[in-house]
Amino acid sequence: MFYHDQLLESTPLPHLTELPPLGMDAASLARDFRHYYTYNLGRDRHCRSVHYAYEALSLALRDRLMERWKNTRYAYDERDCRRGYYLSLEFLMGRSLGNAILNLETHEAVRQGLYSLGLRLEELAEAEHDAGLGNGGLGRLAACFLDSCATLALPVQGYGLRYEYGMFRQKIVDGQQVEEPDHWLRAGNPWEIERPEYTQRVPFEGRSEFYRDHAGETRVRWVDSRDVLAVPYDLPIPGFGNGTVNTLRLWKAAATDEFNLGEFNAGLYPESVAAKNQAEHISMILYPNDASENGKELRLRQQYFLASASLQDVLARWGGTQGEDFSTFADKNVFQLNDTHPSCCVPELMRLLIDQHGLGWDEAWGITTRTMAYTNHTLLPEALEKWPVRLFQRLLPRPLEIVYEINARFLAEVARHWPGDTERQRRMSIIEEGPEPMVRMAFLALVGSFSVNGVAALHSRLLTEGLFRDFYELWPAKFNNKTNGVTPRRWLAWCNPALARLITDTVGQGWVADLPQLAGLAPRADDPEFRQRWRGVKQANKERLAALVRQECEVEFNPQALFDVQVKRIHEYKRQLLNILHVIHLYDRLKRGDLQGWTDRCVLIGGKAAPGYFMAKTIIKLINNVAHVVNADPEVGSRLRVAFLPDYRVSAMEIIAPGTDLSEQISTAGKEASGTGNMKFMMNGAVTIGTLDGANIEIREEVGAANFFLFGMTAEEVEQARPSYDPAALIAGNEELRQVMRLLESGHFNQFEPGIFDPLIASLHSPHDPWLTLADFASYVEAQRQAAQAYGDQEHWTRMSILNSAASGRFSTDRTMQEYNQEIWHLQAVPAEPVR
């Protein structure tokens, strides 16, 4: 290792150090493509699978990333810069090929190079399997953040897990969700580089004991542990057109060699191999629960595995240059925790600094609380992570001791601040007392971090007023807001090339890395000729979406109709049920012959339900049954179409967002922390129908009330209405709602499946319905009527569409990352050396 370093430094090895940069022209790309296809993959013109062509192109592009990647690492090392780490159990990356092409700005050359070989880029790109290493919002946000950090040349590395199985694939059978495993690595992954030389060792179980070190000091060590190896796989994260390539490091769990001892002991051989399997289970599967924890032991193992491997990796790099001097560690490193899932980092950094590196408590605590920052992504109580102390004790005995010590010192501070207020100490304790004592992970993250943020203005305010109120009173300066965003590279430039071209023709090309420049579109909203071009692009994108719906759902969408879309995880608080009630209302109108001011409409709903979430699965079944009845009714014709799109995922959204007219963001106010799909739709010229929830509020502020269909109660009104919520009175007082409930309850949508929707019907009737679904029905229907009317005037609608895109500049993750950097991370941008 060192020998080679010196060799590279001292001896001239021109063949290693001065490789000429790889050509970015069509001919060079085509040559390298052929090289990989023929010599590396061993395929020829008779090969029937397009997958190998995808792979050959990916390898050719990966080579181009590789030299920029190395330059970026060198640049960070030479500057000895302060670095950021984004720790997340989820990175919902989607496909990488298109992203690499776009960010290397080599789209045209690739297209031409492939054309010269008789190949089409679109077809190759379709062969890539999504990297679905996340559930929804929180995972996709992490992926958008990495894109923006690389584009801003910020020295930020992602740390996550390399799940063998990503988010399940959703099939719809008889209207019901069926989950299939997503073995996404089966065909190999050309984008990852295994780096076994940076393997780390993560302890579990065992116990801690005191001992005396060489200097006679009493120290603690974790003994009799069962260790698991963490093997890193690196993914390149290219910035847009700037030569930067950052890293996403994903850990795979592997058994230590000790497991092989079993081979020498034939009697225990099967047990030994079983133990090896168990170690490797840690990174086997992504938990498919969006926003609710299920308390499984394996999940806690995953969380600690990520925390420990990542921190050890950072400390090993630190030791390589600074030895055992940690005096400037906190000046040079910052860790952003993506929700509480990686919050084992707090006790783990303490453990590593104290037990492994000999620091005292106060110095270690100073470092920890100057390097950790925590982002909260939900207010839903069921998503607040708690782990039984007993489980924590068995799996992580030494970290638990440290949690106890952190808590004891913290509660002493609470007692100093509020003398005699034992109730407050009980409320704020990291350990929840009771028959089964629990570790409250959010409080652990709060106490261990110097920054705590929510993900939209409303959400951040609600955190300080509710869930984290005591902590806000104690440490107001810790709390801040960072409104989410999405990357405009994937979510506009790549997924909507026709609109991107029109925008570039209109405002120049700077918008791709400076989204507020889209404001330059606004003056053109009143230009009839521009509107016509804008409408033409939307129309073509709707045809593309209609083709997807035809292929996946066997439902015919007419691109002249209003495309009304709700895609996101299925959850009661997101109120897909309210959407389908409106669909039933429209159906009822058609059956009654009420065609006054009618606008033809195609309703698309998509999303996955957590496999154990019965109500969410029943909602999927209802959507499919309603779709079946409506689409088959000759009286409805093409006036109303309904489809449920199976297997909603990143690559599907790349077709859906550009083809949408109306974006459904209809959660119960106060429940959706931010939402990010809302931003993707807006950028692509959809108009939002939504509640005053999450980032919808800020979207409406940016675009103006006239270009947003608002309905429903505010978060404050929701909390006020709760005690007196009376669904029976709402039904009795609203003829349209009465008709909808009558249709639903008559079994019209479940003729041969009696009773299957009773749980949904009961939840709508319940005065304790936490989502107050019926309270917003009337105003939702009214807002939908206004949207339909607005769509009827195509000039007016197109104007709104343009203004939505034009006002979306704030919702780029470039802005979000700049705010994190200016207010939390304080990193210096390190522009990469251009590849000559």
The catalytic site residues sit at 377, 568-569, 574, 676, 680
Query: What tokens does 429 get?
Result: 């304790």
In the bound state with ligand JN2, the residue whose beta carbon lies nearer, of 246 and 340, is 340
For residue 642, which phi and psi values (nearest 5 degrees)? -135, 135
The CA-atom distances, in angstroms, between 287 and each of 291, 344, 610, 616, 759 are 11, 18, 9, 17, 26
In the bound state with ligand JN2, the residue whose beta carbon lies nearer, of 159 and 511, is 159
List of residues 6+ apart from 473 with CB closer than 8 A: none
Residue 294 CB, nearest distance to ligand JN2 (Å)? 7
Q: 64, 24 in Cβ contact below 8 A?
A: yes
Q: 709, 687 in Cβ contact below 8 A?
A: yes
Q: Rounded distance, CA 762 to CA 618, Å? A: 12
In the bound state with ligand JN2, the residue whose beta carbon lies nearer, of 141 and 414, is 141
What sign does the dihedral 356-357-362-365 (CA atoms) show? negative
Residue in this structure with the two tokens 């959703």, named with its chain if needed: 170
In the bound state with ligand JN2, the residue whose beta carbon lies nearer, of 484 and 566, is 484
Residue 285 CB, nearest distance to ligand JN2 (Å)? 11
Find residue 86's DSSP bridge partners: 158, 336
Extended beta strands in 646-740, E state: 662-665, 687-690, 709-710
Residue 686 CB, nearest distance to ligand JN2 (Å)? 17
Find residue 209's DSSP bridge partners: 221
What sign does the dihedral 267-270-276-282 (CA atoms) show? negative
Q: 476, 640 in Cβ contact below 8 A?
A: no
In the bound state with ligand JN2, the residue whose beta carbon lies nearer, of 337 and 741, is 337
For 261, other C-beta atoms within 10 Å of its C-beta total 12
In the bound state with ligand JN2, the residue whose beta carbon lies nearer, of 196 and 612, is 612
Residues forming contacts to ligand JN2 in the complex (CB under 6 A) are 135-138, 141, 287, 289-291, 293, 339, 377-378, 383, 455, 484, 672-676, 694
Count of H-run helices and E-run strands, the chain: 34, 25
Nearest residue relative to ligand JN2 (C-beta): 137
In the bound state with ligand JN2, the residue whose beta carbon lies nearer, of 211 and 614, is 614
Q: Rounded distance, CA 277 to CA 254, Å? A: 9
In the bound state with ligand JN2, the residue whose beta carbon lies nearer, of 90 and 654, is 90
CA-based nearest residue to 582, from 560, 615, 605: 605
Residue in this structure with the two tokens 């339909």, named with its chain if needed: 788
Q: β-pairing, 479-481 with 451-454? A: parallel
Q: β-pairing, 372-375 with 207-212? A: unpaired
In the bound state with ligand JN2, the residue whose beta carbon lies nearer, of 100 and 291, is 291
List of residues 6+ apart from 478 with CB closer than 8 A: 446, 449, 450, 451, 452, 471
Q: 568, 608 in Cβ contact below 8 A?
A: no
Q: Rounded distance, CA 612 to CA 762, Å? A: 19
Query: What tokens does 213 get?
Result: 């070190």
In the bound state with ligand JN2, the residue whose beta carbon lies nearer, of 61 and 285, is 285
In the bound state with ligand JN2, the residue whose beta carbon lies nearer, of 142 and 349, is 142
Extended beta strands in 215-341, E state: 218-223, 226-238, 245-255, 333-338
CA-based nearest residue to 283, from 189, 166, 386: 166
**Torsion angle of C-alpha atoms 819, 824, 826, 832, degrees rounded to 10:** -60
Find residue 238's DSSP bridge partners: 245
For residue 634, which phi and psi values (nearest 5 degrees)? -65, -25
Residue 467 CB, nearest distance to ligand JN2 (Å)? 12
List of residues 6+ apart from 815 with CB closer than 8 A: 485, 515, 516, 809
For 606, other C-beta atoms within 10 Å of its C-beta total 26
Residue in this structure with the two tokens 């009654």, named with its chain if needed: 592
In the bound state with ligand JN2, the residue whose beta carbon lies nearer, of 110 and 161, is 161
Q: What is the CA radius of gyration of the chain?
A: 28
Find residue 223's DSSP bridge partners: 207
